[in-house]
Amino acid sequence: MMKTYSVKASDIKREWHVIDAADEILGKIATRAATLLSGKHKPLFSRNMDVGDFVVIINASKIRFTGKKAEKKTYYRHSQYPGGLKSITLEELLEKSPEKAIQHAVKGMLPRNRLNAKMMKRLRVFAGADAPYIAKPKAKKTRKSESTPAAS
């Protein structure tokens, strides 16, 4: 008899993924990040649990677009007051804060449920190449006996 496996919180192992967005297309970066955040790349994927990994995106200011999206794509928001419609083009948003353009694209590719906010908390976007979440290579430690020739 086959039994259905249900993922437990103790089974979830989260990893860190670093994505360099320099000269990459926005949609392709967003789909890769959304897949990693939702955990669809793992064999333990479950729609009702948050099994995804942490994602760090660097060089957000160097991202590319296809066609004339930079000039034509417009983001809208409304304050719920009369005449409260605000709009900003993608080009203006990149000058102001390039991180928000990527966050908006990734958020749109995640499921619209309670897990969306939890997944978005694990996304970190940086305009430049420096990020505190990137592991720095450690200097190799050598033993004193290896660094000096042995006396014979």
Q: Each residue's pLDDT tens digit in the chain (152 positions)?
A: 888 888 999 999 999 999 999 999 999 999 999 999 999 999 999 999 999 999 999 999 999 999 999 999 999 999 999 999 999 999 999 999 999 999 999 999 999 999 999 999 999 999 998 888 777 665 566 565 555 555 54
Task: Tell me what pLDDT residue 123 has.
Answer: 96
The CA–CA distances, whole Å, from 6 to 39, 48, 114, 116 equal 15, 10, 19, 21
Burial-class residue 88 by CB neighbours within 10 Å (0-12, 13-18, 19+): middle
Q: Which two tokens stand for residue 102?
A: 């990527």
pTM: 0.82
Sign of CA dihedral 87, 92, 94, 97: negative
Task: Tell me what pLDDT residue 147 has.
Answer: 52
Task: Tell me what pLDDT residue 143 has.
Answer: 63
Task: Tell me what pLDDT residue 33 has.
Answer: 97
C-alpha dihedral, 109 to 113 to 118 to 120, nearest 10°:
20
Task: Tell me what pLDDT residue 2 has.
Answer: 84
DSSP β-ladder status, 123-125 and 54-58: parallel
Q: Which two tokens stand for residue 127?
A: 């305009």
Measured distance CA(112)–CA(24) in Å, rounded? 26
**Helix and strand numbers, DSSP H then E, in the chain:** 6, 5
Task: Map out the domains of the chain with their CATH numbers.
Answer: 13-66+105-131 (3.90.1180.10)
Task: Tell me what pLDDT residue 130 has.
Answer: 86
